[in-house]
Amino acid sequence: MEAFTVHTGRAVPLRRSNVDTDQIIPAVWLKQVSRTGFEKGLFSAWREDPEFVLNRPEYAGASILVAGPDFGTGSSREHAVWALQQYGFRAVISARFGDIFRNNATKMGLLPIELPEDYIEGLQDKIEANPAKEFTIDLPARELRCDEGGVRSFEIDDYTRWRLTEGLDDIGLTLRHADDITVFEKSRQPWLPVTA
Amino acid sequence: MGRTLADKVYDAHVVRSAEGEPDVLYIDLHLVHEVTSPQAFDGLRMAGRKIRRPDLTIATEDHNVPTTDILAPIADPVSRTQVETLRKNCAEFGVRLHPMGDAGQGIVHVIGPQLGLTQPGMTVVCGDSHTSTHGAFGALAFGIGTSEVEHVLATQTLSQKKPKMMAVTVNGELPYGVTAKDLILAIIARIGTGGGQGHIIEYRGEAIRALSMEGRMTVCNMSIEAGARAGMIAPDETTFAYLEGRPHAPAGAEWEAAKEYWRSLRSDDDAVFDREVVIDASTLTPFVTWGTNPGQGAPLSANVPDPAEFEDPTRRSAAERALQYMGLTAGTPLRDIAVDTVFVGSCTNGRIEDLRAAAAVVKGRKVADGVRMLVVPGSMKVKAQAQEEGLDAVFTEAGAEWREAGCSMCLGMNPDQLKPGERSASTSNRNFEGRQGKGGRTHLVSPAVAAATAVTGHLAAPADL
Tally the C-alpha atoms within 13 A of residue A64's C-alpha that lie toward its C-beta: 26
Nearest CA in chain B to A189: B258
Helix/strand/coil for B163: coil
- Which tens digit of pLDDT belongs to each residue from A62-117? 999 999 999 999 999 999 999 999 999 999 999 999 999 999 999 999 999 999 99
Burial B63-88, CB ≥16 within 10 A → b, else e: bbbbbeebeeebebeebebbbbbbee
pLDDT digits (tens, 9 = 90+) for B157-189: 999 999 999 999 999 999 999 999 999 999 999
**What is the C-alpha separation between B225 and B378, in angstroms, rounded?**
20
Q: Distance between terminal CA atoms of chain A?
A: 33
Beta bridge pairs of residue B141: B124
Q: Which of A18, A43, A158 to mutate to test the interface with B (most CBs of B within 10 A)?
A: A18
Q: Which of A17, A23, A174 lies closest to B314 in CB terms?
A: A17
Q: Inter-chain contact A195–B57, Cβ cutoff 8 Å?
A: yes
Considering only the beta carbons, identify the residue of A100, A188, A193 that sits closest to B116. A193
Q: How close A75 gets to chain B, by Cα (Å)?
A: 5
Question: pLDDT at position A88, please?
Answer: 98
- For B234-293, the pLDDT digits (tens) are 999 999 999 999 999 999 999 999 999 999 999 999 999 999 999 999 999 999 999 999
Whether the per-residue pLDDT at A1 is higher than 90: the answer is no
Residues of B in contact with A17 (CB under 8 A): 314-315, 317-318
Going from N- to C-terminal start, the domains of chain A cover 6-168
pLDDT tens sequence across A26-57: 999 999 999 999 999 999 999 999 999 999 99
pLDDT of residue A161: 98
A166 touches chain B (CB under 8 A): no
Which has the closest alpha carbon to B380: B32, B71, B34?
B71
Distance from CA of B255 to the nearest CA of A (A): 8
The alpha carbon of residue B400 and the mean position of all alpha carbons in its chain are separated, in whole angstroms, by: 23
The values of phi and psi at residue B118, to 5°, are: -90, 115
Residue-level pLDDT at B32: 98
Across the range B362-381, mean pLDDT stands at 98
What are the distances in angstroms from CA A101 to CA A88, B147, B163, B445?
17, 11, 15, 26
Residue A163 burial (C-beta neighbours within 10 Å; 0-12, 13-18, 19+): buried
pLDDT at B71 > cutoff 90:
no
Q: A172: distance to nearest CA of chain B, Å?
A: 9
* B307/B317 Cα distance (integer angstroms): 7
Three-state DSSP class for residue A93: strand
CATH number of A6-168: 3.20.19.10
Buried b (16+ CB within 10 A) or exposed e, B252-283: eeebeebbeebeebbbeeebebeeebebebee
Q: Is the pLDDT of residue B98 over 90?
A: yes
Asked if A31 lies within 8 A of B64 by C-beta distance, the reply is: yes
Look at residue A180 and tell me whether its pLDDT is greater than 90: yes
SS3 content of chain B, % helix, strand, coil (to 5): 40, 20, 40
Mutation pick from A33, A157, A170 vs chain B, by most beta carbons of B within 10 Å, is A33
Phi, psi of B297 (to 5 degrees): -135, 165
Q: Tell me if B347 is assigned to a ligand binding site.
A: yes
Taking CB atoms and an 8 Å limit, are A174 and B155 in contact across chains? yes
Q: Residue B92 — φ and ψ, nearest 5°?
A: -65, -40
Q: What is the C-alpha separation between B378 and B98, in angstroms, rounded?
A: 14
Q: Going from the N-terminus, what domains does chain B have, and what CATH number goes with each?
A: 5-160 (3.30.499.10), 164-283 (3.40.1060.10), 288-464 (3.30.499.10)
CB neighbour list of residue B28: distance below 8 Å, 6 or more residues apart:
A188, A192, B13, B56, B122, B123, B124, B139
Burial of B243 (0-12, 13-18, 19+ CB in 10 A): buried
Distance of CA B19 to the CA centre of its chain: 35
Residue of A nearest to B89 (CA): A33
In sequence order, the β-bridge partners of residue B280 are: B171
| Residues found in chain B | 465
Q: How far apart are the C-alpha atoms of B367 and B399, rounded to whole Å?
A: 6
Q: Give B-chain residues touching A16 at CB under 8 angstroms.
A: 318, 321
A149 band by pLDDT with thresholds 50, 70 and 90: confident
Q: Which residues of chain B does A108 touch, with a Cβ-Cβ cutoff of 8 Å?
A: 147
Residues of chain A contacting B230 with CB distance shorter than 8 Å: none
Is the pLDDT at A196 greater than 90? The verdict is no
State which residue of chain A sits closest to B195, comparing Cα positions: A70
- A178/B contact by beta carbon, under 8 A: yes
pLDDT of res. A124: 97
Least confident of A7-16, B65-74, B421-430: B65-74
CB contact under 8 A, B432 and A178: no
For the CA atoms of B322, B327, B332, B337, the dihedral, rounded to the nearest 10 degrees, stands at -110
* Those residues with Cβ within 8 angstroms of residue B398's Cβ, 6 or more apart along the chain or in another chain: B362, B363, B365, B366, B367, B373, B454, B455
Give the SS3 label for residue B126: strand
Cβ A174–B28 below 8 Å, yes or no?
A: no
What pLDDT score does B370 carry? 97
Q: Considering chain B, what is the average pLDDT of its residues?
A: 97
Best CA proximity match to B16, nearest among A164, A167, A185, A156: A185
Q: What is the pLDDT of residues B117-137, one digit of tens each?
A: 999 999 999 999 999 999 999
User: Which residues on B lie below 8 Å from A76 (Cβ)?
Assistant: 36, 127-129, 143-145
Question: Does the pLDDT value for residue A140 go beyond 90?
Answer: yes
Say whether A171 and B47 touch across the interface (CB within 8 A): yes
Distance from CA of B455 to the nearest CA of A (A): 30
Give contacts of A 39-98 with B, CB under 8 A: 45, 68-70, 73-79, 81, 96-98
What SS3 class is residue B447?
A: helix
pLDDT at A93: 98
How many Å lie between the alpha carbon of B53 and the closest alpha carbon of chain A?
Answer: 9
CB-neighbour burial class of residue A1 (10 A; exposed 0-12, middle 13-18, buried 19+): middle
- Partner B contacted by A109 (CB < 8 A): no
> A75, A107, A121, A125: which to substitute to probe chain B, counting the most B Cβ within 10 Å?
A75
Report how far apart, in Å, the C-alpha atoms of A195 and of each of A192, B146, B439 are. 10, 21, 40
Its sign, for the CA torsion B316, B319, B324, B330, is negative
Are β-strands B372-375 and B341-344 bridged in parallel, bridged antiparallel, or unpaired?
A: parallel
Q: What is the mean pLDDT of residues B29-55?
A: 97
- Flag whether the ipTM exceeds 0.85: yes
**Which pLDDT tens digit goes with each residue over B433-452?**
999 999 999 999 999 999 99
Please work out, in degrees rounded to the nearest 5, the angle formed at the alpha carbon of residue B10 by the alpha carbons of A108 and B4. 130
* Residue A123 distance to chain B (closest CA, Å): 16
| Phi-psi domain of B243 (left: phi exceeds 0; alpha: psi -120 through 50; beta: other) | alpha
Cα–Cα distance between B433 and B442 in angstroms, integer? 8
Question: What pLDDT, on a 0 to 100 scale, did the predictor assign at position A148?
Answer: 78
CA distance A24 to B342: 26
| Run of H or E residues at B186 | helix B180-191
Between CA B63 and CA B106 the distance in angstroms is: 10
Cβ contact B54–A34 (<8 Å): no
Task: For residue B438, give the nearest of A45, A78, A180 by CB distance.
Answer: A45
Contact B146 A31 (CB under 8 A): no
CA angle B395, B398, B402 (to 5 degrees): 30
A192 in contact with chain B, both atoms CB, cutoff 8 A = yes
